[in-house]
Chains A and B, each alone.
Chain A
Amino acid sequence: MSKEIKIKVCTGTGGMAAGGENVLSLFRNALLSAGIDATFSEKCSVDKVGCRGFCGMDLLVDVIVDGKKITYKYVKPEMVDRIVQEHIIRGNPVVEWMVEDDFYNFHKKQTKVVLSQCGEIDPEDINAYIEVGGYDSLKKVITSMTPEETISVIKNSGLRGRGGAGFPTGLKWEICHRKKSDKKYIICNADEGDPGAFMDRSVLEGNPHSVLEGLTIGAYSIGAEEGYVYIRAEYPLAVNRLRKAIEQSRQKGFIGNDILGKRFNFDIKIKLGAGAFVCGEETALIASIEGKRGMPRARPPFPVDSGLWGKPTVINNVETLANVPYIIKNGAEWFASFGTEKSKGTKVFALTGKVKNNGLIEVPLGITLREIIFDIGGGIEGEKMFKAVQTGGPSGGCIPAEFLDLEVDYESLAQVGSIMGSGGMVVLDETNCMVNTAKFFLEFTQAESCGKCTPCRVGTKRLLEILERITSGNGKEGDIELLEELSYYIKTSSLCGLGMTAPNPVLSTIKYFRDEYEAHIKDRRCPAVVCRDLITYSILEELCTGCGACKRACPADAIRGIRKKTHTIDTSLCIKCGTCFDVCKFKAIMKS
Chain B
Amino acid sequence: MEESLEKILTNYRNNEGNIITILQDLEETFGYIPEEAVNWFSKRLKIPASRFFGIATFYAQFHLKPRGKNIITVCRGTACHVKGSERLLNRLFIELDIPAGEDTSDDLKFTVEKVNCLGACGIAPVVVFNKEVHGKMTLDKLMRDLKSINTDE
Contact = CB atoms under 8 A, between A and B. Distances in A.
B94 A577 contact: yes
B24 A198 contact: no
Given A196-B121, A293-B55, A17 B126 contact: yes
B139 A582 contact: yes
A577 B24 CA distance: 36
A582 B139 CA distance: 8
B109 interface: no
Contacts of B135: 14, 17-18, 58
Contacts of A202: 119
B122 A55 contact: yes
B82 A432 contact: yes
B124 to A, nearest CB: 6
B58 A294 contact: yes
A497 interface: no
Interface in A565-580: 575, 577-579
A582 B120 contact: no
Most chain A beta-carbon neighbours within 10 Å: one of B20, B122, B131: B122
A363 interface: no
A428 interface: yes
Given A195-B117, A293-B54, A359 B122 contact: yes
A75 B23 CA distance: 41
B20 A198 contact: no
B21 A196 contact: no
Nearest to B115: A234
Interface stretch (A181-189, A258-266, A348-356): A348-356
Most chain A CB within 10 A, of B115, B120, B138, is at B120
B121 A350 contact: yes
A392 to B, nearest CB: 11
A286 B117 CA distance: 22
Contact of B59 (A276, A441, A577, A579): A276
Contacts of B18: 290-292
Contact of B119 (A234, A556, A582): A234
A534 to B, nearest CB: 15
Contact of B78 (A58, A200, A201, A440): A440
A359 B60 CA distance: 27
Nearest to A350: B121
Contacts of B21: 291
Interface string B113-134: 0011111111110100001011
B76 A195 contact: yes
A556 B80 CA distance: 24
B5 interface: no
Contacts of B95: 555
A108 to B, nearest CB: 19
B67 interface: no
Contact of A14 (B60, B87, B120): B120
B121 A352 contact: yes
Given A274-B24, A353-B83, A14 B117 contact: no
User: Which of B80, B84, B139: most chain A Cβ within 10 A?
Assistant: B139
A233 B122 CA distance: 20
B78 A393 contact: yes
A288 interface: yes
13 contacts: A14-B120, A14-B123, A16-B133, A17-B120, A18-B135, A193-B116, A275-B59, A276-B59, A276-B60, A288-B20, A353-B124, A426-B79, A582-B139
Interface of B: 17-21, 23-24, 54-55, 58-62, 76-84, 87, 90-91, 94-95, 115-124, 126, 131, 133-135, 138-140
Interface of A: 13-14, 16-18, 54-56, 58, 192-198, 200-202, 233-236, 272, 274-277, 288, 290-295, 350, 352-354, 358-360, 390, 393, 424, 426, 428, 432, 437, 440-441, 444, 448, 450, 553, 555-556, 575, 577-579, 582-583
Nearest 9 interchain pairs by C-beta: A291-B18, A55-B122, A275-B60, A198-B119, A195-B77, A274-B59, A196-B78, A195-B117, A352-B79
